[in-house]
Amino acid sequence: MITAPATSTTESTVDSEVLVEVNDLKVHFPIKRGIILDRTIGYVYAVDGVDLTIRRGETYGLVGESGCGKSTLGRAMLKLVPLSDGHVVFDGTDLSTMKGEPLRRMRRRMQMVFQDPLSSLDPRQSVESLLVEGLRAHGLDRGREATGRRLRDLLSAVGLPSSALRKYPHEFSGGQRQRIGIARALAVEPDLVVADEPVSALDVSVQAQVINLLEDLQEEFGLTYLVIAHDLAVVRHIADRIGVMYLGGLVEEAASDDLYAAPLHPYTRALLSAVPVPDPVLEDRRERILLTGDLPSPAAPPPGCRFHTRCPWRQPTRCDTERPVLREVLPGHRAACHWAEDIRAGRIKPHEVRPELVEEEGVPTVDESLAGPTSVTEALGP
């Protein structure tokens, strides 16, 4: 059962069902130039104004292409990178201004599983040393006998034998090393686990094992997950809700099934159209959206809607100058897009989104008999 920390530096103002609340979070990395003066000539807007909440016991999936700011957002939520602006409220405690010993104590409840288990595990430390380190740092080492039982239970929970305690990271396979990383995160009994691309470096068969392990551990220990990934199939399987990031901002958020059934943002539709379909019949008749142009630099993001330079349904003038706000378009479904919110509000005339069908000979055609919403009106409702 998840319980609140014994002490809190800030009065709780969030819903009791919400474990993490992120408000207008920004992480801007300075661009330096010069040898002597080392002056700042600009910033990389890695995360630029993100708002999201993660409820207790749920799995929140964060997806987007490489360089969109997913990993930086996850690290910023744990204050592993400095915040430029905004707030991260964890179980009623604002972490934004915390530092030193209070922040170190709070980090026991927030742990991270890194993308590359080999580089995140010290090759000079045995598995026992890796696991005991966190226990000792947070005062959870209860003596040799009790700690030994705790370590064996941890390894058993992640599917490894107790003999692994005497071995070193290089003696394990990639999947086993990831299990060790998960055990290290669980050693200090956290409430929130941020898993940054936890299976991207693993074989497909091993990916399924690790994903199933994460689900089993969540049920056993009452964990809350933030799973960062670019594999949409993985996120769909494990996540309760999904947020889609593009160029430092959150552009869409919805329950997993709703997002895949009726994506409202054109970038999300483009992402989903790129997912391979195993059935060749469906592959020939699925929606195909090909984005043109290059991804803008996060050091010089375009004005207005960040996606307008590649959007197939761009509204000239408005999309070029007005940045859309992430707001609820349907119950529980948020999108940051002018056409989605305007059609829902009746401010503009509904217009169809006609996906291309790629036939066997490769000639694009238009067919309105596709399964699922083929127009904005169908996606948003009357």
Q: Per DSSP, what are the bridge partners of residue 253? A: 243, 334
Determine contact, residues 323/306, Cβ cutoff 8 Å.
yes
Q: Which two tokens stand for residue 309?
A: 């330079």
Query: What's the pLDDT at 277?
Result: 67
| Model pLDDT, residue 307 | 93
The CA distance from 303 to 318, in Å, is 10
CA angle 273, 370, 353 (to 5 degrees): 65
Tell me how far apart the alpha carbons of residues 53 and 93 are, in angstroms, rounded to a whole number.
Answer: 14
- Cα separation, 109 vs 157, in Å, equals 19
The pLDDT score that the predictor gives to residue 287 is: 64
For position 349, what pLDDT does the model report?
Answer: 53
Q: What is the pLDDT of residue 371?
A: 34
Q: What percent of the chain has pLDDT over 70?
A: 83
Tell me how far apart the alpha carbons of residues 261 and 252 are, in angstroms, rounded to a whole number: 14
AA letter at 307: F
Per-residue pLDDT, 286: 59
Residues ≥6 apart with Cβ < 8 Å to 54: 18, 19, 20, 21, 60, 192, 224, 226
Q: Can you give the pLDDT at residue 280?
A: 56
Q: What is the pLDDT of residue 7?
A: 37
Q: Can you tell me which residue has the tokens 């999201």?
A: 52
Q: Copy the structure tokens of residue 298.
A: 């996060």
Domains of the chain: 18-122+182-256 (3.40.50.300), 125-167 (no CATH)
Q: What is the pLDDT of residue 1?
A: 32
Distances from the Cα of 133 to the Cα of 143, 188, 335, angstroms:
13, 10, 43
| pLDDT tens by residue, 221-251 | 999 999 999 888 889 889 999 999 999 999 9
Specify the pLDDT at position 354.
44
Query: Hey, how many other C-beta atoms are within 10 angstroms of the C-beta on 99?
Result: 9
Distance CA(295)–CA(274), nearest Å, equals 16
Distance CA 225, CA 239 (A): 9
DSSP 360-381: TTS-EEE-TT-SS--BHHHHH-
Q: What is the pLDDT along the chain (382 residues), one digit of tens a residue?
A: 333 333 333 333 445 799 999 999 999 999 988 777 778 889 999 999 999 999 999 999 999 988 899 999 999 999 999 999 999 999 999 998 898 899 999 999 999 999 888 888 999 999 999 999 999 988 888 888 889 999 999 999 999 999 999 999 999 998 899 999 999 999 999 999 999 998 887 888 888 888 999 999 999 999 999 999 988 888 988 999 999 999 999 999 999 999 988 888 989 988 888 776 665 555 455 567 778 778 899 999 999 999 999 988 888 888 999 999 998 888 899 999 987 777 677 676 544 444 443 444 444 443 333 333 444 444 444 4
Model pLDDT, residue 66: 87
pLDDT at 185: 93
d(CA 368, CA 364): 13
